[in-house]
């Protein structure tokens, strides 16, 4: 019983020592430092061993991680090698195709100044300062930036006349909403001819000049779609983009439609 | 023999295992296992428990933490021995489970009342499983030596 009581007291003392940091008390500090000096070699050995073991563990974990990462990278490299060989194949095929295809045609053009407009105010034609002497021919396309303005219909020695998108006499092939139509010029609106009732052309849809040998120049946009004018076709009005009277210089594409 | 083993266990627990588990909170308590195995039969030797705990405290600079924990564990073991027969491997393991859980919980609570350190369940569980494996092997060895 006495023994148990003694050890119970020791238990309480230990708890107190832990909670109150008894070893740091000034009275006991000399005793603690004495014990520490006795145990110094052991403590050093312990610290060194702990450090070495930690280093070993860290190295092991690092190596395991590196091995996993390496495996992943090897897989990625294999996949990429496959991709590279596929791409090489594609490149080879493309080079062969390039060899087979003829060079894409380049459009030659002449810059011309506008010298006169339509006196009626309907902008049906305009006069350019370039003519036969400059190599212009009837049927050449006239554009300003990416907007189609018209077609040269008469060529004189030093000048030429352009039939514009506002003219009733202009008829060109056009594309709108993925389908081909005939664009008929007009003032104040042009129109698309023979648009079937079931065609879904909407207001604001862009209308492009259709040509296999020229870039798709913009004619204008659908202004209004009227349900039924005739039995099979609907009436579609187009507002041309070309503002003839604001243009001082135009590009004459030296190619017919 | 006991003190030789004690020295080995103290060195292992205070240096090698701390290096492996990262913190002395998660280290398997081999000292408790040794004390349990040496006190499982016959009278309980509190002096060994206190000396072992005290020396471990000196090595870890945690004066009173292990000493009080080991004394508490021996009190509990002494109580169990008085009330139950511990004659089989299973009963020994159950007794150790009770003693160890109480001792570890007590020490963790004592530590937590003074410091804060995030408790990681996985290293804690691994440490406890290692400890259980050591005790199971020790019990097996104990029974074998008794039989022979």
What does the pLDDT look like over A118-163, one tens digit per residue? 888 888 999 999 999 888 999 999 998 888 999 999 999 889 999 9
**Which B-chain residues 80-109 have CB contacts (< 8 A) with chain A?**
none
Q: Residue B46 has which token pair?
A: 């509190």
pTM: 0.55
**For residues A59 and A64, what is the distance between their CA atoms, to the nearest angstrom?**
8
Give the DSSP per-residue string, chain A: -HHHHHHHHHHHHHHHHHHHTGGGSHHHHHHHHHHHHHHHHHHHHHHHHHHHHHHHHHHHHHHHHHHHHHHHHHHHHHHHHHHHHHHHHHHHHHHHHHHHSPPPPPPPEEEEEEEEE-TTSS--EEEES--GGGT--TTEEEEETTEEEEEEEEE-SS-EEEEETT-TT-EEEEEETTEEEEEE--SS-EEEEEEETT----TT-EEEE--SSS---EEEEEEEEES-SSSSEEEEEEEE---GGG-SEEEEEEEE-
How far is the alpha carbon of A10 from chain B, nearest alpha carbon, in Å? 8
What is the rounded average pLDDT for all residues in chain B? 89
Per-residue pLDDT at A26 exceeds 60:
yes
A18 vs B64, B72, B74: nearest CB: B64
Residue numbers of the domain that contains B99: 2-147
Q: Residue B49 has which token pair?
A: 């428990």
CB of A179 within 8 Å of any CB in chain B? no
Do A15 and B64 lie within an 8 Å CB cutoff? yes
Per-residue pLDDT at A37 exceeds 60:
yes
CB of B43 within 8 Å of any CB in chain A? no
pLDDT of residue A194: 87
**For residues B33 and B9, what is the distance between their CA atoms, to the nearest angstrom?**
10
CB of A247 within 8 Å of any CB in chain B? no
More confident residue, A182 or A92: A182
pLDDT of residue A80: 92
pLDDT of residue B54: 92
**Rama region for A195: left / alpha / beta (φ>0; ψ in -120 to 50; rest):** beta
**For residues A132 and A69, what is the distance between their CA atoms, to the nearest angstrom?**
74
Mean pLDDT throughout A160-180?
91
**For residues B67 and B75, what is the distance between their CA atoms, to the nearest angstrom?**
12
Per-residue pLDDT at A33 exceeds 90:
no
Which run of H or of E encompasses B133? helix B121-147
Task: Enumerate the residues of chain A whose CB falls inside 8 A of the CB of residue B67.
Answer: 10-11, 14, 17
pLDDT of residue B89: 86
CA angle, corner A51, sides to A48 and A57, nearest 5? 140
Among A143, A165, A175, A173, CA closest to A255: A143
pLDDT of residue A102: 61
A15 vs B61, B68, B75: nearest CB: B68
Mean pLDDT throughout A192-209?
88
Domain count, chain B: 1
Q: What is the pLDDT of residues A76-122, one digit of tens each?
A: 999 998 899 889 888 888 888 877 676 555 778 888 988 888 888 88
Per-residue pLDDT at A27 exceeds 80:
no
3-state helix, strand, coil in chain B (%, to 5): 80, 0, 20
Do A11 and B72 lie within an 8 Å CB cutoff? yes
Mean pLDDT throughout B38-67?
89
Residues contacting A5, CB < 8 A, separation 6+: none
Q: What is the pLDDT of residues B82-134, one digit of tens each?
A: 888 888 888 989 999 999 999 999 999 999 888 888 888 898 899 999 999 99
CB of B19 within 8 Å of any CB in chain A? yes
Interface confidence, given as ipTM, is 0.85
User: How long is chain A?
Assistant: 257
Per-residue pLDDT at B51 exceeds 70:
yes
Do B72 and A53 lie within an 8 Å CB cutoff? no
Do A8 and B16 lie within an 8 Å CB cutoff? no
Q: Which residues pair with A123 in a beta bridge?
A: none
For B86, other C-beta atoms within 10 Å of its C-beta total 18
A46 vs B15, B74, B110: nearest CB: B15
């Amino acid at each position: 019983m006495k023994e148990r009581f003694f050890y119970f007291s020791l238990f309480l003392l230990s708890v107190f020592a832990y909670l109150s940091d008894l070893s740091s008390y000034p009275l006991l500090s000399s005793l603690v430092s004495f014990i520490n000096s006795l145990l110094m070699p052991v403590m050093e050995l312990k610290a060194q061993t702990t450090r070495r073991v930690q280093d070993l563990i860290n190295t092991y974990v690092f190596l395991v991680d590196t091995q996993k990462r390496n495996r992943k990278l090897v897989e990625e490299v294999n996949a990429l090698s496959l991709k590279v060989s596929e791409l090489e194949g594609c490149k080879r095929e493309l080079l062969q195709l390039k060899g087979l295809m003829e060079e894409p045609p380049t459009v030659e053009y002449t810059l011309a100044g506008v010298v006169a407009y339509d006196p009626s105010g309907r902008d049906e034609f305009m006069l350019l300062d370039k003519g036969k002497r400059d190599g212009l021919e009837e049927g050449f396309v006239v554009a300003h930036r990416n907007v189609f303005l018209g077609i040269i219909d008469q060529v004189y020695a030093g000048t030429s006349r352009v039939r514009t998108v506002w003219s009733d006499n202009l008829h060109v092939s056009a594309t709108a909403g993925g389908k081909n139509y005939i664009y008929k010029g007009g003032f104040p609106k042009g129109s698309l001819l023979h648009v079937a009732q079931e065609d879904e052309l909407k207001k604001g849809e862009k209308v492009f000049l259709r040509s296999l040998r020229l870039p798709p120049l913009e004619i204008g946009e659908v202004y209004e779609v009227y349900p039924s004018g005739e039995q099979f076709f609907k009436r579609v009005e187009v507002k041309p983009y070309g503002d003839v009277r604001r243009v001082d210089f135009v590009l004459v594409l030296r190619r017919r439609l | 023999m006991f003190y030789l083993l004690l020295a080995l266990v103290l060195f292992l627990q205070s240096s090698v295992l701390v290096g492996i588990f990262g913190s002395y909170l998660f280290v398997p308590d081999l000292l408790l296992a040794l004390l349990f195995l040496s006190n499982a039969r016959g009278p309980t030797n509190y002096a060994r428990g206190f000396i072992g705990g005290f020396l471990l405290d000196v090595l870890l600079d945690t004066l009173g933490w292990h000493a009080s924990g080991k004394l508490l564990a021996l009190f509990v073991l002494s109580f169990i021995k008085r009330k139950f027969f511990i004659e089989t491997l299973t009963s020994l393991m159950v007794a150790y489970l009770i003693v160890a859980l109480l001792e570890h919980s007590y020490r963790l609570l004592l530590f937590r009342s003074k410091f804060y350190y995030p408790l990681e369940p996985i290293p804690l569980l691994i440490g406890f499983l290692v400890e259980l494996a050591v005790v199971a092997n020790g019990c097996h060895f104990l029974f074998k030596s008794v039989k022979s």
